[in-house]
A = this chain, B = another copy of it.
Amino acid sequence: MITHAMEDYLKTVYLLQEGQEKVSTSAIAQQMEVSAASVTGMIRKLAAMGLLNYASYQGVELTEGGKKIAQEIIRHHRLLELYLVEIMGFSWDKVHDEADKLEHVISEEFEERMSEALGHPTTDPHGHAIPAKDGALQEVAYATLTEVDAGSSATVQHVSDNDPEMLRYFDQLGLLPGAVVHVVAKEPFNGPLRLKVDQTEHFVGREVAGNVFVSPQIT
């Protein structure tokens, strides 16, 4: 039987796996705010179930079966976020936590009816791709705002959706998916970036900028 906790682990591994193929125990532990020992324990169980491949000290990689489950959960999560915002009128910064709880609990029919109500969307309110019912999700590896050259513009594709406070901050600044940002200046060393969003200038810390994913603006 697959538990909610297992689903959370699979989801986390899937999202950390983007790019790399192996994911370390500690990366999972950090992401989930759980001890590394707990991760080891759960990983062994998931490996025994054939949902991921794992060799001691070598890191972890999802099997096809594990990926499928992870995609299902991520699809739930992102459809929920969109549904909560678009249909129920939630604000952008509250949907992540709500979706984290609901994603494990809704039925296939619930998922299907949400998708229908939304016109079978492919992107959630944070700009993340929504995996198709069975197909894979293809998330382009966007640059972050920290990597944009001073003097260049970029379009916000998605933002990290883990921290509600940061989401509210993005909202204030107008850093929503689709927004065009001009990087006016990048202070030397670890100083803030100077951005222009929608006529207004802002200073934004390096760590914050690292959570905003962008593609070069196409004019």
Contact = CB atoms under 8 A, between A and B. Distances in A.
Interface of A: 84, 88-90, 94, 97-98, 101-102, 105-107, 109-110, 113-114, 117
A88 B110 CA distance: 8
Contact of A113 (B90, B101, B102, B105): B90
Nearest to A105: B101
A94 B94 CA distance: 28
A117 B84 CA distance: 12
A105 B84 CA distance: 14
A88 B113 contact: yes
A72 B107 CA distance: 23
Contacts of A101: 105-106
Contacts of A113: 88-90
Query: How many subunits of this chain does the assembly comprise?
Result: 2
A84 B89 CA distance: 17
Contacts of A114: 88
A101 B88 CA distance: 19
Nearest to A114: B88
Contacts of A102: 102, 105-106
Contacts of A88: 110, 113-114, 117
A101 B105 CA distance: 6
21 contacts: A84-B110, A88-B110, A88-B113, A88-B114, A88-B117, A89-B113, A90-B109, A90-B113, A94-B107, A94-B109, A97-B107, A98-B106, A98-B107, A98-B109, A98-B110, A101-B105, A101-B106, A102-B102, A102-B105, A102-B106, A105-B105
A160 to B, nearest CB: 21
A9 to B, nearest CB: 19
A98 B84 CA distance: 17
A109 B91 CA distance: 11
A100 to B, nearest CB: 10
A107 to B, nearest CB: 6
Contacts of A94: 107, 109
